[in-house]
Chain A
Amino acid sequence: MADQKNSKPLLTGYMLSTQLMEIDGCNRCQECMKWCPTFAVRPDRPGITPMYKNARWRELMAKDHSLRAKIFGGKPLNEDEMKAFTEDVYYCTTCGVCGTVCEAGIMTVDLWEAMRPNLVDRGNGPYGKQAFFPKLVKADRNPYQAKQEDRLCWVPKDAKVDESGEIVYFAGCTAAYRQQALGVATVRILNKLNVDFAMLGKDEWCCASAMVRTGQREVMAEHAVHNVDALKDAGAKTVLFACAGCIRNSTVDWPRWYEGYIPYKNVPLSVFLRENIRKGEVEYKIPLNYTVTYHDPCHNGRHLMHEIGKDWAFEASRDCLRSIPGVKFKDMVRNRDLQRCCGAGGGVKAGIPDLALDMAKARVKDGEEVQADIISSTCPFCRRNIMDGRNDAKSSIKVLDVVELMAASMGLDTTIPENPYTKFQEQDVLVCGPTTCKVETVERKEPGKDLVGEAH
């Protein structure tokens, strides 16, 4: 038993007073338990489900803030209990399906993200390798220990990318250093559509999503303010995102930390491309004869559906996929706002990799159930994790980004130029001839370099 004499009290400062009320609003209907993707792969641990976490928080708070405590004095917190509770709170990808199905209307994503910094300040959180996030990001401005000067090292020499302009493509760390096929496909499509766009280069810093998700907010302010100012300085009116984590943070979190006026609009790349498809500006050349399904990333799906609308959050990517000739589109059983999380979010990929892997395998199984050849998504982190799950399950299913599928069908050259990060590339890519495309896997030449895995 851990020493309890000098036990610190449970901290509540990061929680809104209405969030403390929400915890008492849980009526224990158990609906969250039926949908929780972590509980689905850890059925022996009901403590990780929202209903139990709420109950536990109530019990912990009651030690100092109940009628009994008022009359007889508070009780010290048991550190073993706190450790177990912290583990339960971090065994969560903050996917938010519990909030979608909650009968009491509890905003669970915000609730978990408010609980975590209290645990961090008390010295209980974060969990496992998540503790490296702030250190890495503060030192390098990205979680991959890569050079900021190399942010655009993957951009093909013949591609046209401006330094400023009304449209800015915010690529994100993963497309810049680990999944460059996504970046190249995006740049090629925008060039093909004659869209004048800029990129921030070394002025693009990590969106810091992983810090907020894991309750380590101290780096967030600096990154939010820097990125917003850099986008403003570039003259952005529209910022395009092909990364769900980045757009979530840019839309929800940065404004919480930025005090000035934000003049630009955050737009998912799939929405921008759909507009071009509707205008008839996208010309496809090669049919992709695959059955494709779509995995809705939590970050630009459930987390953003009330900010940007369900059409932008869920339908735009599907419309892009349906527009590709030859593609037979099939939704998985769990889709849109009730989708099953891939397992990478909330710091779980870095903190509890075995949990992330089991969740990814469950999602791969969802794809197999609808006989999909390809699981597509618009989130590099989902893609990374689903690929890991696919590899571990030895499934034949392929995992690709919607943008890459479009670029391949448009007949664009998506070859990644040789660069210092070529050896870290590991992704499925479409290799196309004049009339057909075939999916191949690019294997990582130098494994084990990512200290914290994927960072969202």
Chain B
Amino acid sequence: MAFYTLGLTFNLVIFLTVIVLAVWIYGIYFNFKKWGLGSTGYHDQLRNSFWLFLATWIHEAFKDGLWVFLRTVVLDVLLLRRTLARSPVRWVMHMSMFYGFLALAALSGLGLMLDIIEHFNLVGLAHEAEAVKEMLALPFDIFGYLLLIGATIAVSRRIFLKFVRDNSSAYDAFLIGAVFLITVTGFYAEWMRGNSFLVGNAFEYPIYAPHFALIHTVLAIGLFALVLPWSKYIHVIATPMTLLGNRGGE
């Protein structure tokens, strides 16, 4: 099925992807440099350096040795132990969103790679690439539903729990709403293609499916790649780094 629509060509998409990646990388550099405005030790002078931030973080993360670092990676970063200790519901929410988001991002990256192989028929694997892309539909669905569960819990908490609602800012609402919107548009784009997991052909509308898919892609890239380093989404990077830097925290 045609994906490149509304005047977008394959080359243009690749070009835009490179631009987005460059902005993303610059954003991360920008944040690391901002964090570098702090000192490297309790009495140390300010150095204002990107590299010294990295050095300080590595020093802190490995202060108690490699074993503690690895334990923190598994228990705190991958299994979100601290969240589970406080709220099982929030743990389900975070785990769903975390793994849903990571898996979809990885699958999207893989999809793009397969697109490139298919487009240029690299090492004559165009057909195989197309076949693999077809196989990716199911994992895309599974992790999409996982993300949907997480996003739904997140939105519901902000709507139905008074304490959470009262202390939510417009910023929270925008960002959680955006995650929810991206997830839902992703599903709808998939359903419009027809023969979809769970819903079959109930929402089939193949003529407009590519257009809707494009809207979803633009939203996803725009928010996750362009907005992430410049907004509260930076916690996706900063929280695991904090957990590692503090060896799991208090």
Query: Is there an interface contact between A21 and B245, defined as CB atoms closer than 8 Å?
Result: yes
Q: A102-B82, A256-B43 given as contacts; is B235 within 8 A of A31 (CB)?
A: no
Q: List 6 tightest A-B contacts by C-beta distance, closest first.
A: A105-B249, A25-B242, A17-B38, A25-B238, A24-B238, A99-B250
Q: Does A12 contact B (CB under 8 A)?
A: yes
CB-defined contacts of A256 to chain B, threshold 8 Å: 42-43
CB nearest to B50 among chain A residues? A17
CB-defined contacts of A302 to chain B, threshold 8 Å: 250
Q: Which of B34, B43, B52, B82 lies at the interface centre, i.e. has the most chain A CB atoms within 10 A of its CB?
A: B34
Chain B interface residue bracket vs A: 35 or more
* Distance A282 CA – B245 CA, assembled complex (angstroms): 44
Q: Does A61 contact B (CB under 8 A)?
A: yes
Q: Does B96 contact A (CB under 8 A)?
A: no
Q: Does A100 contact B (CB under 8 A)?
A: yes
Q: A21-B242, A25-B241, A256-B42 given as contacts; is B250 within 8 A of A105 (CB)?
A: yes
Query: Is there an interface contact between A17 and B43, defined as CB atoms closer than 8 Å?
Result: no
Q: Does A27 contact B (CB under 8 A)?
A: yes
Q: A24-B31, A24-B235, A101-B86 given as contacts; is B241 within 8 A of A13 (CB)?
A: no
Q: Does A28 contact B (CB under 8 A)?
A: yes
* A26 interface neighbour in B46, B86, B87, B235, Cβ under 8 Å: B235
CB nearest to A256 among chain B residues? B42
CB nearest to B245 among chain A residues? A18
Minimum distance in angstroms from B102 CB to a CB of chain A: 16
- For the residues of B in contact with A, the DSSP-based class is helix
CB-defined contacts of A67 to chain B, threshold 8 Å: 30, 230
Q: A13-B39, A18-B56 given as contacts; is B235 within 8 A of A104 (CB)?
A: yes
Q: Can you list 13 A-B contacts (CB < 8 A)? A: A17-B37, A17-B53, A21-B57, A30-B164, A30-B167, A31-B86, A34-B163, A61-B34, A104-B238, A105-B76, A105-B246, A108-B250, A256-B42
Query: Is there an interface contact between B38 and A12, defined as CB atoms closer than 8 Å?
Result: yes
Q: Which of A12-47 contact B (CB under 8 A)?
A: 12-22, 24-31, 33-34, 46
Q: Does B210 contact A (CB under 8 A)?
A: no
Q: Does B127 contact A (CB under 8 A)?
A: no
* Distance A109 CA – B169 CA, assembled complex (angstroms): 25
CB nearest to A253 among chain B residues? B42
Q: Does B144 contact A (CB under 8 A)?
A: no
Query: Is there an interface contact between A105 and B248, defined as CB atoms closer than 8 Å?
Result: yes
Q: Does A215 contact B (CB under 8 A)?
A: no
Q: Does A65 contact B (CB under 8 A)?
A: yes
Q: Which of A433-455 contact B (CB under 8 A)?
A: none
* Distance A30 CA – B83 CA, assembled complex (angstroms): 12
Q: Which of B41, B232, B245 lies at the interface centre, i.e. has the most chain A CB atoms within 10 A of its CB?
A: B245
CB-defined contacts of B90 to chain A, threshold 8 Å: 29, 103
Chain A 97-128: CB-based contact to B (< 8 A → 1; otherwise 0): 00111111111100000000000000000000
Q: Does B60 contact A (CB under 8 A)?
A: yes
